[in-house]
Chain A
Amino acid sequence: MTADGHPRNRLDDTIHAPVRLSIMAALANADRIDFRYLRDLVEVSDSLLSKHMTHLENAGYVTIVKGYQGKRPRTWFSITDTGRTAFTKYLAALHDIVGEVR
């Protein structure tokens, strides 16, 4: 197997980072997720989550929608079609390395 052919070379660096992987895995399984829930799920601070979401948004993998619930500001995150395709490819590469990934 050549170096280029090894499945680890197909692991998308944008996704293959601990926090961003958790974010993508979560968003791939929902229509949309609230900021606070996602922050608690991945166990990071508000600022770190915002930083990673901006990174993913710049890559075209997620969309960020801000609004209000009553007077309370609320932020929703969703995965884009591009992000879903990238995550599916990432899972396929991961599958080739470690076996089946649910």
Chain B
Amino acid sequence: MNSDDDLTPEAAAAEVGRAAWQVRRRARWPGWMFLVFAAIDFAFFVIVGSGNRTVSDALIPVPALLAAAIFLIAARQPVVGQDAQRINKPIAIAGIVTAVAGLVIYQTVMPQHFTGWLLLLAALMVSPYFVGAWRWLHL
């Protein structure tokens, strides 16, 4: 693009729309990240909660690896969305709260093997991330 080009109002309007669309689309990456995080976390909770000790022990590093991966992915993103602070922080806090509450419920009142309740509990534990994904991908 040449900075000395004349810019008609019509061309300006079109360029405003193009640039805004590109940036908004690029800024939605936390939505996809939340979706992947929710899927992996859900599988993790279900597998670990099913009570197979060998598998559970093998999966212990998963949450730490996931957190590290999220940090690295986030640090490499070239666009940070306008609503990043407003959306991500409450979602992260809610995710921690539901995870801790879910673990307490699992340890106190749940059977220590696979049941339908385990699926429901795991879904509730990752529900904040689905909310986060929905909010980003519908902006």
Contacts and interface: CB of A to CB of B under 8 A. Distances in A.
Interface of A: 8, 11, 16-22, 25-26, 28-34, 36-37, 41-44, 48, 52, 69, 91, 94, 97-99, 101-102
B19 interface: yes
A94 B78 contact: no
B19 A16 contact: no
B135 interface: no
Contact of B15 (A11, A21, A44): A21
Contacts of B27: 29-30
A55 to B, nearest CB: 10
12 contacts: A11-B9, A29-B82, A30-B82, A31-B81, A33-B78, A33-B80, A34-B78, A36-B78, A37-B78, A37-B79, A43-B1, A69-B76
B2 A94 contact: no
Interface in B7-29: 7, 9-10, 12-13, 15-20, 22-24, 26-27
B22 A41 contact: yes
Given A29-B23, A33-B78, A101 B5 contact: no
Given A20-B3, A91-B16, 12 more contacts: A21-B12, A29-B27, A30-B23, A30-B27, A30-B80, A31-B80, A31-B82, A32-B80, A94-B12, A97-B9, A101-B13, A102-B16
Given A26-B20, A41-B22, A69 B12 contact: no
B133 to A, nearest CB: 19
Contacts of A42: 1, 19
A61 B76 CA distance: 25
B75 interface: yes
Contact of A25 (B1, B16, B80): B16
Contact of A22 (B1, B84, B85): B1
Contacts of B2: 18
